[in-house]
Amino acid sequence: MKKLAAVMLAMSLFALFATACKKDDKTTPAGGSFTIDGKAYNSDYAYWTTANGLIITNIGVAPDYIENFVQIFVDSLSYPKYDFLSRSNVAYDAKKNFSSAVVRYNATNVAGAGTEVTGVTAGTVNVSKSGDVYSISYSITLSGKVVTGTYNGKISNKAAGE
């Protein structure tokens, strides 16, 4: 009986130390925010498509599912810096430029009351990547309004129309 108790004690101690020494999973949650008209909006999810570029958004919550997002029409995320230049400009280079942007935000948090801003006149997007985690910062002027923001995390690839 003493032998059985000693074996059980040894197994319990081993299990305790094996789980206590387990490497901690330190996954940094994705996220960021953007600011427009002096108000900040969370952006905790990002995805990219060939047709729609980069969309940095929040995940809407029931019951209203209010979505705030910044959409940047960029051809890839493979280069460190993109400046705004209209795609119709002969100097447009997909490795250096983004062609447009759209910002949708809801300052009142009333469903259906959001504002959409287009008409880019200037802007810069900076991209860096470590493994599969991106760090993106941007400052874009649309219709006289400046939107600045950051996003750090994974970016999902979606098929067009998804």
* 77 is a domain residue: yes
* 125 is a domain residue: yes
Q: Over the stretch 65-106, which tens digit does the pLDDT of each residue have? A: 888 999 999 999 999 999 999 999 999 999 999 999 999 999
Range of the domain at 139: 31-157
β partners of residue 31: 152
Number of domains in the chain: 1
What's the pTM value of the predicted model, to 2 decimals? 0.79
Closest CA to 140 of 152, 124, 127: 124
- What percent of the chain is predicted at pLDDT more than 70? 80
* 3 is a domain residue: no
Q: Over the stretch 99-129, which tens digit does the pLDDT of each residue have? A: 999 999 998 888 888 899 999 999 999 999 9
Kindly give, in sequence order, each residue whose CB lies less than 8 Å from that of residue 142, ignoring residues fewer than 6 positions away. Answer: 101, 102, 103, 117, 118, 119, 120, 121
Average pLDDT across the chain, whole number: 83
